Amino acid sequence: MDDSTTIIVLLTIAIVLLSAIVVVFLGVVTVLLVRVNRIVKNVEDVSRNVAEATAWFTPAKLLSTILGVFNRD
């Protein structure tokens, strides 16, 4: 084989390997972003529930709920 043929074959192999590595890295990044997005949605749900519970336990809300129970006829 000529030197130029050897160089072309080696460069082709290098490009194919690097392309495969880039595709694998893009897949890994995509999977990680999907998992992080799922975690963020769960955290948002928890924080919304905590905010609703905190709002319900305010003295004004408790007092109005108690008075509403006794004022029903």
Q: Give the start-end residues of each E strand in the chain.
A: none
57 confidence band (pLDDT: 50, 70, 90): confident
The pair of structure tokens assigned to 34 is 């999907």
- pLDDT value of residue 11: 97
Whether the CB-CB separation of 55 and 61 falls below 8 Å is answered with: yes
Q: What percent of the chain has pLDDT over 70?
A: 97
CA separation for the pair 15, 5 (Å, rounded): 15
- pLDDT value of residue 38: 97
> Region 25-52: what's the mean pLDDT?
95
- pLDDT value of residue 59: 81
The neighbour count for residue 19, using CB atoms within 10 Å, is 10
Tell whether the model's pLDDT for residue 73 goes beyond 60. Answer: no
70 confidence band (pLDDT: 50, 70, 90): confident
Specify the length of the chain in residues: 73
